[in-house]
Structure 1
C-alpha cells in the first residue's frame, strides 16, 4: 500500500530553515528540515515507491519512509488512541494565528509576568501571614451549598483559562506553536489545558521552565488582584468570596507544583531530572522493588499516597454536600466504600496507559 500523509499534519516554519511538525491526533511534535517537508508532502497515497524515487535520492528513500511510519505521520501507521477516562480532553480553539499576530505583546507579557510574579509573591506572603486568622474565620462561614458550588466552578474555569493562556503566550514568545487550548476533565475535575508540548523542542532548560511556571505565576498575581478587584466591585460583603477565590488560587499553585500528577510540577520535575521516563521507572519500582533505585521507589510511594489523599478529599467533600440533601447513614457507608474502589480504579487506569 502506498503511504499517505495524514491530512491533519501541520507544518510551521521556524528559524534556521527548519519546520515544526505537529500531529493533532497523537499530540506529538517534531522538528525537521525543509527538504523532509517537501518529501512528506509527496506522500499522497497515489505515488508508488518507484514514483517517489524520482524525487527522493535512492540512498535516503527507504530510511525516509521508515521514519515517516515510525513517527506515525502516515495513515498506514495511524493507530486508534485509547480513551483515558481520567483525562478527557475537548479542544476549543487554535490560538496560533492570534498569538502570531502580536509577537511584541507576547514578549512584553512574558517579561511583565516574571516581574509581577516576584512583586505579588512578596505581597501575598506578607498579607497571608498577617491575615491568616481572618482568612480562617471567613472560610468557616462557608457552607457547602449550590451557590458555593457554582462560585467554585465559575472561579476554577476563569482561573484555569488565565493559567493556560499564560502558558500559551509565554510559549509563543519563545517561538513555540500552541496548536490548541481546550477543556478537560482531569480525574473528573473540570480544568482547561493548553498544548505546550512543543516546548520540548527548545534547547534551553531555562526557557522550558519559564513556560511551565507561567501558569503558576498568573495564579500568584490573581491572588494579589483579588482583594482590590472584589472589594471595588462588591464591597465588604464580598470578602468571604474574596478569601475563597484566593484560596482556590493557593490550592491550584500547590497542586501544580506537586510532581506526582501530570500537572505543571510533574513536567518541571522531569526537566530538572532530565529523565522523561522517570515516572515509568517509579511505577515499575513498586511492582519490582528489589533492585530498584531509591529515588524511583520513593517517588512511586509518595505518588500513590498523594493520589489517595486527593481521592479521599474529593469523596469527603462530596459526602458533606450529599449529607445536606440526604440525612441518612447510608451516605457514610457509601463514601467509605467509594474510597478503595476509586483508588483501585485509578491505579488500574494508570497502569493501562503510558506515563
Structure 2
C-alpha cells in the first residue's frame, strides 16, 4: 500500500530552515526541518514504499515513517481515528474563517502594523490615561444617560464586533509579520461571552520568546488604539446621548484591555504570563498540584485559588448580563428561576470539566 500524506497538511516556511506544519483536520501544529518536509512531500500516494526507501536514507526511513504514523499525518485507516480539536464548554466556536486570502496578500502591512504598535502603544497609553482622568466627571454620568434597553444591547454587541475584529486582527497581522501562518479566525463564546479568536498557535514554534510575546500583546495594543481614537472623538461637538455611547465604547475597550492582561483566565495575559515564567500549561500544573498534592508550590496554590475566584466572578457576571438581556424579551418569573439554577450549577460544572480534562 502506497503512503499518502493527508490533504489537510499544509507547510509554511518559519525561520532558519524550519517549517510550520499545520493539520487542518485536527487543528494541530508541528515544527519540522526542511529535510523532513521534503520527505513528507514524497508521500504522494503514488510512489511505492520500495522507491521511497531509495529516496529517504535507510538509517532514517523506519523512524521517519513511524513518526509520521504516530502524528497521524497519513491518509487511510488512521484518518477515521484522528483526534479532532477537543470540545470545551468554555470556548464554544460558532464561526470559523480562513483569513489567508487577506493576510497572505497584505504585502508589508503586517510589518507596518507591528512597527506602529511597538512604537506608538506606550505614548498612546499615557495619553489615554491622562484623558480618562480628565473625563472622569463625564464618565460618571454614563449610567444616568444610558438605559439598559434593546438599542444599548445592540450597540454593545456592535462595539464588541469592532473591538474583536481589531483585537484579533492585530494578533494575526503581527504573527504574519514574523512569517507565522494564521489558519483560522472566528467567533466563539468564551465563558458565555461573545468573543473573537485568531489561531496564532504557530508562534509556539518560534524560538524567540520576545517575538511570541509581541504577538500575544498585539491584541491589547489594538484595543489601546481604539480607546485613543474614541477619546479623541469626544472633542467633536455632539449631543449628550451620542457622547455617552462614545464613552461607553471607550470604556469597553479599557475594560477589555484590563481583563485581557489578567493571567487568571485563558486570555492573552495568561499566555504572556506563561512566556515570562517559561512554564507552559502553568494553570493545569497548578490544578494538578491541588488535586494530587504532588509538586506543591506556593505559587501554584496562590494562582489556583485566585484564578478560581476570578473565574467564578466572571461566570456569574456573564450570566447576570445575559439574564438582563433575556428579560428584555421575556419578562417572566421562569427567567429568574432558570438563571438562578444556572448560577448555582455553572461553577461546579466548570470545575468538573477542568478536572476531567487535566487527567
Contact 2:110 2:174 in 1 (8 A): yes
Query: Could you say which residue in structure 2 is the equivalent of 1:284?
Result: 288
Q: Tell me the CA shift for residue 41 of structure 1.
A: 2.4
Deviations 1:300-325 (A, max 9, x none): 11121111101111222233444556
- Equivalent residues in 2 for 1:246-265, closer than 5 Å: 246-265=250-269
Q: Residue in 2 aligned with 1:218?
A: 222
Q: Which moved more, 1:12-21 or 1:228-237?
A: 228-237
Q: Distance in 2 between matches of 1:140 and 1:278?
A: 43
Distance 1:130 1:12, change over 3 A: same
Change (3 A) 1:321 1:195: closer
2:274 corresponds to which of 245, 270, 275: 270
* Secondary structure in 2 matching 1:61: helix
> 1:191 and 2:195 equivalent?
yes
Q: What displacement does 1:236 show? A: 4.5
Query: What's 2:34 paired with?
Result: 34
**Alpha carbons of 1:108 and 1:120: their partners in 2 closer, same or farther (altered >3 Å)?**
same
- Structure 1 counterpart of 2:321: 317
Q: Secondary structure at the match of 1:191?
A: strand
Cα gap change, 1:16 to 1:332, in 2 (>3 Å): closer
- Please point out which of 86, 104, 108 is paired with 2:108: 104
More displaced, 189-198 or 44-53?
44-53
Paired residue for 1:176? 180
Any idea what SS the aligned residue of 1:10 has?
strand
Provide closer, same or farther for how the CA distance between residues 329 and 15 of structure 1 changes in structure 2, counting only shifts above 3 A. closer
Q: 1:179 Cα deviation (Å)?
A: 1.7
Q: What secondary structure sits across from 2:55 in the alignment?
A: coil
Name the stretch that deviates more: 88-97 or 9-18. Answer: 88-97
Matched pairs, number:
355
The Cα shift of 1:49 comes to: 4.2
| 1:306 maps to 2:310 | yes
The partner residue of 1:244 within 245, 248, 252 is 248
Structure 2 residue matching 1:12: 3-state secondary structure: strand
CA distance in 2, matches of 1:327, 1:175: 52
Tell me, which stretches of 5 or more residues in structure 2 are unaligned?
none
How far is 1:220 from its partner? 1.0
Given the two structures, how large is their TM-score scaled by the length of structure 1? 0.90
Query: 2:24, 2:236 → 1: CA distance?
Result: 43
Mapping 1:1-355, distance limit 5 Å? 3-45=3-45, 49-75=49-75, 76=78, 78-90=82-94, 92-229=96-233, 232=236, 235-289=239-293, 292-323=296-327, 331-353=335-357
Flag the 1:228–1:237 CA change in 2: closer, same or farther, 3 A: farther
Structure 1 distance, partners of 2:326, 2:104, is: 47
Q: CA RMSD in A?
A: 2.6
Matched-pair contact (CA < 8 Å) for 1:95–1:180:
yes
Q: Which runs of 5+ in 1 are unaligned?
A: none
8 A contact 1:139–1:243 mirrored in 2:
no
Question: In 2, Cα distance between the equivalents of 1:322 and 1:92?
Answer: 26
- 1:329 to partner: Cα distance: 5.8
1:55 and 1:326 map into 2 onto residues whose CA distance is 68
Question: How far has the Cα of 1:111 moved from its partner?
Answer: 1.3
Name whichever of 38-47 and 176-185 sits farther off.
Answer: 38-47
Single out whichever of 40-49 and 68-77 deviates more from structure 2: 40-49
For residues 204 and 81 of structure 1, what CA distance do their matches in structure 2 show? Answer: 27
- Shift of residue 131 of structure 1? 2.4
How much has 1:346 moved relative to structure 2? Answer: 1.9
Question: Quick check: 41-50 or 296-305, which moved more?
Answer: 41-50
TM-score, structure 2 as length reference: 0.89
Deviation of residue 159 (structure 1)? 0.6
Q: Offset of 1:153 from its aligned partner?
A: 0.6
> Retained in 2: the 8 A contact 1:231–1:238?
no
